[in-house]
Amino acid sequence: MADLSVDFCGVRSPNPFWLASAPPTNTGDQVRRAFDAGWGGAVWKTLGNPIVNVSSRFGGVDYGGGRLMGLNNIELITDRPIEENLREMREVKKNYPDNVLVASLMVETYEEWKEIIRRAEDTGCDALELNFGCPHGMCERGMGSAVGSEPKVLREITGWVMEHATTPVIVKLTPNIGDITEPAEAAMAAGAPAVSLINTIKSIIGVDLDTMVPTPQVGGASTNGGYCGPAVKPIALHLLGQVARMPNVVPISGIGGVSNWRDAAEFMALGATTVQVCTAVMHYGFRIVEDMIEGLSDFLDDQGYGSAQELVGRAVPQYKDWGDLDLNHHAVASIDPDKCIGCQLCYVACLDGSHQCIHIPGMSDEEKRARGHVAFPAHVPDRPVTAAGGTPGARVPYVHEEECVGCNLCELVCPVDGCITMVEKRRGPQVDTWADWAGRGEDLRPGSLDATRKARGK
């Protein structure tokens, strides 16, 4: 069985699964139960100067009958006395010496940082995480994402922390910034041995149209909050990938929408050594970690990885800039007539949303023209739908290969597993990228290559 333990800038974690700094790590009792359930580490709810929270605090986005595809919150850092937090952290660490305990911190002045680092490290915690990401409430006081989105300030404060910290320092980055590599660069330049990302994304979850108040409502008003949960995973993966391919990058803890083992494996492949989870636990509880451990372990065994650490960063080299993609790669859609149920979703998607190259058998060219087709295949084979569950009398749509641009929209909308596949039809044997074209002075401009040539010629 693969070794699930990982080394995160010198800290050994029994597995890569950590709880993110958030309500699930509010109290010692919660963290204890989480460790019992199998979580490898926990980043305690951010400590700082006393605050007061509002009520309500959360808003959710549902999709297709499923709840909490995305979660928005306007909660601040811990609202419990710092002494209580520190005492419970000390107790937890004493009882769970093998689990990773990280103190998340957010204060303002140099003296405050110095003081809180001393007190946090005094609990025996394994590392510190600097919360430079909270996008609401705290940033208006010059903390959280106000720091995270100003690389200079971030560098300076990280520098203060590095002066005093004796445990590894993880800088938690905010996604609310144009180029994530700038704060990442600043954190590394200040000597931080690790970064984590992402914190929540600035958001307004919706508007109550009866009261004309955005949600969540606090009295008769609302404010912008931070978005997280499954919906943010693609954004988090992108920002993670951006940081992971920086030269000499430090270890990364990946956060944002991780809900199951597969999400975790994807984050690790794109450069995260550990992952942190908040929303999925808020939705379903600590129990989800059993599936994460089992699923990752089976996956590693299947693929022949000896350890979780070996997975880290495997997909990073394949994450490239657009200009480095092979323009000779071409794929066309292929419909399996034995699986098609005849819903014609691929047809309308291609007709209205792509390149009008899927045809329904039995239509005359006039009918096709009226529907919006511009190119007509010589012959459209008429195949009746025969799959179990198929609509009686329906016909299997036909892909006009010469016209198919290989966008794969039809594959994405087809409701039947494996019914539409993309078949590779290379345009040429050699790899040919836009960067190659540019190198040859043949880069594209709107209005075709000829237009480009003419423009250059002038």
**Catalytic, out of 125, 134, 357, 419:** 134
Measured from the CB atom, the residue of 287 and 426 that comes closer to other proteins is 287
**Site of interaction with ligand SF4 (CB under 6 A):** 335, 340-346, 397, 414, 416, 419-420
Structure tokens at 7: 């080394």
**Does residue 220 interact with other proteins by CB under 8 A?**
no
**Does residue 395 interact with ligand FMN by CB under 6 A?**
no
Scanning 84-92, 96-104, 187-195, 413-421 for contacts with other proteins by CB under 8 A, the matching segment is 413-421
Q: Are 324 and 418 in contact (CB under 8 A)?
A: no
CB of 52 to ligand FMN, least distance (A): 14
Measured from the CB atom, the residue of 186 and 201 that comes closer to ligand FMN is 201
CB of 193 to ligand FMN, least distance (A): 18
Structure tokens at 195: 């970064």
Distance CA 386, CA 395 (A): 9
Q: Are 378 and 329 in contact (CB under 8 A)?
A: no
Q: Are 52 and 79 in contact (CB under 8 A)?
A: yes
Structure tokens at 146: 């106000």
Structure tokens at 290: 């059993």
341 binds, among other proteins, ligand FMN, ligand SF4, none (CB under 5 to 8 A by kind): ligand SF4
**Does residue 255 interact with ligand FMN by CB under 6 A?**
yes
Distance CA 402, CA 131 (A): 53
CB of 335 to ligand SF4, least distance (A): 4
SS3 of 88, please?
helix
Angle (nearest 5°) at CA 164 between 162 and 168? 55
262 binds, among ligand FMN, other proteins, ligand SF4, none (CB under 5 to 8 A by kind): other proteins
Residue of 33, 119, 262, 329 interacting with other proteins (CB under 8 A): 262
290 binds, among other proteins, ligand SF4, ligand FMN, none (CB under 5 to 8 A by kind): other proteins
Distance CA 457, CA 439 (A): 17
Residue of 124, 159, 206, 295 interacting with other proteins (CB under 8 A): 295
Q: Which residues neighbour 394 within 8 Å (Cβ) at sequence distance 6 or greater?
A: 341, 342, 343, 344, 384, 385
134 noted as active-site residue = yes
- Could you tell me where the beta strands, DSSP code E, fall in 150-286? 169-172, 194-197, 201-203, 206-208, 213-215, 225-228, 252-255, 272-277
Nearest to 314 by CA among 298, 303, 327: 303
Catalytic residues: 134
Q: Which residues here bind ligand FMN, judged by CB under 6 A?
A: 20-23, 45-46, 71, 73, 75, 77, 104, 131, 133-134, 172, 199-200, 228-229, 232, 255-258, 277-280
Q: Which residues here bind other proteins, judged by CB under 8 A?
A: 65-66, 259-262, 284-285, 287-288, 290-291, 294-295, 298, 388, 415-417
